[in-house]
Chain A
Amino acid sequence: MALEKITQVTGRGVFIPGDDIDTDRIIPARFMKCVTFDGLGEFAFADAKAAESAAGRLHPLDDARFQGASILISGSNFGCGSSREHAPQALYRYGFRAIIAESFAEIFFGNSTTLGIPCVKMSKEDIADLAALIEKTPSIQVTVDLTESKVSTDDIDFSAEIIIPGHAREPLMNGRWDSIADLVDGLDDVKARVASISYLANS
């Protein structure tokens, strides 16, 4: 399977502040009553958006200045909670192509990588600086560069280091982020292993 080689992602950014943003927040469970992932994008952060407007505030995703953003920026432990792939699927379908956060929950990180969405870690300070730049100039182009392991912006002099583990970075850069092809390649070994494990031998 030839997949796109993802070495860098460039686009406008949007900052969604907060730590521990869970997958129920990213896509409330009631929208998971579906047998395909199509159409999930419009429900990303649905309840969070409604809650903000009920409180007389504007959720960043409802803010006209940040429409069309393709890089999501947030706090620590982003994507914690359930294993629902509906969460990164909703973000992808909304238009996000990379996520920058202080840290990520494990299952969310894996699910996102499999969809070709790089999740990169950046320090709290750099996130605050980047968020401030975007707030001031929403049109700036943010680049997440996996080759150089950094995030930068056009025009303005911003550059920060990012961390992405090799087991995610290499497959993204080599176009092997969806592991199914590699797994299928190993099927002969799988069958041999199944035959050698007693509780599986009759499978």
Chain B
Amino acid sequence: MGKTLLDKVWEEHTVRTLPDGRTQLLIGTHLIHEVTSPQAFGMVRDLGLKVLYPKRTFATVDHIVPTDQRAEPFSDPLADAMVKELRKNCAETGVTFFDLSSGNQGIVHIVGPEQGITQPGTTIACGDSHTSTHGAFGAIAFGIGTSQVRDVLATQTMAIGKPKVRRINVDGKLSPGVYSKDVILHIIRHLGVNGGIGYAYEYGGSTFDSFTQEERMTVCNMSIEGGARVGYVNPDETTFEYLRGRPYSPKGAEWEAAVTRWKAVSSDKDAEYDDIVHFKAEEILPTVTWGITPAQAIFIDEKIPDPKDLPLKDRDTAAEAIEHMKLPAGTPAVGIKIDVAFLGSCTNGRLSDLQEVAKHIRGRKVSDHVKAIVVPGSQVVSTIAEKMGLAEIFREAGFEWRGAGCSMCLGMNPDKLVGDQLCASSSNRNFKGRQGSPTGRTMLMSPLMVAAAALTGEVSDARKVFGII
């Protein structure tokens, strides 16, 4: 019987079985940021331990960094203290820090891949649930809590049970104007926000084969929104091409050896899965969320459902969502008025996301009543986008062009919704209060759908707005 990529990576990184039956798993690459690491460094010190392999931990700042006034000290003293704390911890322990002045700072899940730190066949952990993003390279990547950040700093390992594997096949060609974001929203809509608990999601099929590396990252990123802590795609030529020549990618003879290893790590043809599900790419349309969980999603031509038409188990949450969103059942997705448009985050803040939108908005204007911001996921993305003239296109269309960070994905920096503003957002969570205002409302969608909403002032079918069909 063949093995999955998860089986192979797990086996290679197993140190031993712990008394409680879990695996002591070696974490090859550890990524940290300012929010979930300070307590962990403190715990390591309090226990009289030290950072065991400082070269295997990489740090950056993203969550609390302001995206406009970036000079230190920040206006928020708490945020300022957190950046300084991380800087101090890295300096003291020898951890590599992609600081604000490095030109390489950004959202941790964008920085890892673009630096070539994220590699196939590795284990990766980060004190952030969207660490599943790195699975797009055929890595087994976990979000962890602060105590586990401590464990990884001090021992380069963590205690964890081996998940089951669900293979998710998507076959066929996506229609024009439908993106990888729609694919993952569709998957979550059908498998539920808790359908992935206990599973790693292995994504494959012809749709994934033809996806770019960045499209794969968008899907893997949101695995956790479907309850799966790990999501991955088997590495292939697309992956290797993406990694070639990046700062931390293997070089010279080491490159060839690495590619040979990476090829061998893919799931075997006869691998055994705990579950297999299928989706057809042609059936997926531009998708938006209407509620307070990422599974509360509909196609752009649908209406907000009536809770009483939903399965019993979904009704209470649907009713709660309708109350919070102030959008009655039966409201069509098209035409919902928006106040804010946010283009960015670790889901859709990459260069290809910005390119796709810039291509379509040239010469158009953001609606008068909409505040629209574009937040590149990293300084590297930002620098390239500026050189390519994308920043100018966005500015001319009336978007604010910001510095790299998590921004309005969550309410930890100055970019926040106010009151019950409704935001068309390319991020990954529509939880109550997620975007910084307890009564704020979020609708998740693809970057081009965010742009369509920004221009028309209401949720719109991007394919019509931009003449794609």
A32-B412, A83-B128, A183-B24 known; A77+B194 contact, CB < 8 A: yes
Count of chain A residues with Cβ under 8 Å from any Cβ of B? 66
Say yes or no: A35 contacts B81, CB within 8 Å: yes
Q: Find out whether the CB atom of A103 lies under 8 angstroms from the CB atom of B35.
A: no
Q: Contacts of B12 on A, CB cut-off 8 Å? A: 197
Q: Which residues of chain A are within 8 angstroms of B39 by Cβ–Cβ distance?
A: 35-37, 85
Known contacts A77-B227, A182-B24; A83/B193 CB under 8 A:
no
In contact, A83 and B144 (Cβ under 8 angstroms): yes
Contact of A3 with B by CB under 8 A: no
Knowing A85-B147, A106-B229, A203-B55, say if A183 contacts B158 (CB, 8 Å).
Answer: yes
Q: In the complex, which residues of chain A have a beta carbon less than 8 angstroms from the beta carbon of B250?
A: 199
Is B317 an interface residue when CB atoms closer than 8 A count as contact?
yes
| Cross-chain contact A114 with B147 (CB below 8 angstroms) | yes
**The stretch of A8-16, A140-148, A186-194 that contacts the partner chain:** A186-194
Interface residues of B in 408-455 (CB under 8 A from A): 410-412, 429, 431-434, 436, 438-439
Interface residues of B (CB under 8 A from A): 12-16, 18-22, 24, 26, 28, 35-36, 38-39, 42, 47, 49, 52-53, 55-56, 63-64, 76, 78-79, 81-82, 85, 119, 121-122, 127-129, 131, 143-148, 150-151, 154-161, 193-194, 197-198, 224, 227, 229, 250, 257-258, 261, 293, 313, 316-317, 320, 410-412, 429, 431-434, 436, 438-439
Shortest B193–chain A CB gap in Å is 6
The interface residues of chain B lying within 8 Å CB-to-CB of A178 are 147
State which of A103, A174, A186 has its C-beta within 8 Å of the C-beta of B16: A186
Q: Is the CB of A28 within 8 A of B433?
A: yes
Question: How far is it, in angstroms, between the C-alpha of A9 and the C-alpha of B338 when the chains are bound?
Answer: 48
Note all chain A residues with C-beta closer than 8 A to B150.
180
- Nearest CB on A from B283, distance (A): 26
Q: Which residues of A contact B258 (CB under 8 A)?
A: 198-199
Q: Quick check: B35 and A107 within 8 Å, CB to CB? A: no
Let me know if A186 and B15 touch, CB within 8 A: yes
Q: Are B64 and A33 in contact, CB atoms less than 8 angstroms apart?
A: yes
- Chain B residue contacts of A80, Cβ below 8 A: 193-194, 227, 293
Total number of A-B contacts with CB less than 8 angstroms? 221
A193 adjacent to B129 (CB under 8 Å):
no
Q: A18 and B411: CB pair below 8 A?
A: no
The answer to whether the Cβ of A30 comes within 8 Å of any Cβ in the partner chain is yes
A binding-site residues for B, Cβ under 8 Å: 17-20, 22, 24-25, 28-30, 32-37, 47-48, 50-51, 75-77, 80-86, 88-89, 103, 105-107, 110-111, 114-115, 165-168, 170-171, 174, 176, 178-180, 182-184, 186-187, 189-190, 193-194, 197-200, 202-203
CA distance A180 to B258 in the complex (A): 32
Other A-B pairs beyond A89-B146, A107-B229, 18, CB < 8 Å? A25-B433, A29-B410, A32-B35, A33-B79, A81-B429, A83-B36, A110-B160, A111-B145, A165-B161, A167-B20, A170-B19, A179-B158, A180-B147, A183-B155, A186-B155, A193-B14, A200-B28, A200-B56
Residues of chain B within 8 A (CB-CB) of A20 are 193-194, 293, 317
Residue of B at shortest CB range from A88? B145
- Tell me how far the C-beta of B61 lies from the nearest C-beta in chain A, rounded to whole angstroms: 13
A110 to B145, CA, bound (A): 8
- The reply to whether B56 and A203 form a contact with Cβ atoms under 8 Å apart is yes
A-B contact pairs, 13 of them (CB 8 A): A20-B317, A28-B433, A29-B436, A30-B411, A51-B438, A114-B145, A167-B21, A167-B22, A171-B20, A179-B151, A190-B26, A194-B26, A200-B28
Contact of A19 among B26, B317, B411, B432 (CB under 8 A): B317
Complex CA distance for A187 and B24, rounded to whole angstroms = 10
Provided the pairs A30-B411, A47-B438, A83-B128 are in contact, do residues A35 and B82 lie with their beta carbons within 8 angstroms? yes
Smallest CB separation, A188 vs chain B (Å):
10
Q: Are A83 and B143 in contact (CB under 8 A)?
A: yes
Nearest chain-A residue to B121 (Cβ)?
Answer: A199
Contact A19 B316 (CB under 8 A): yes
Report Cα–Cα, A113/B43, bound state, in Å. Answer: 17
Contact status A24-B432, CB under 8 Å = yes
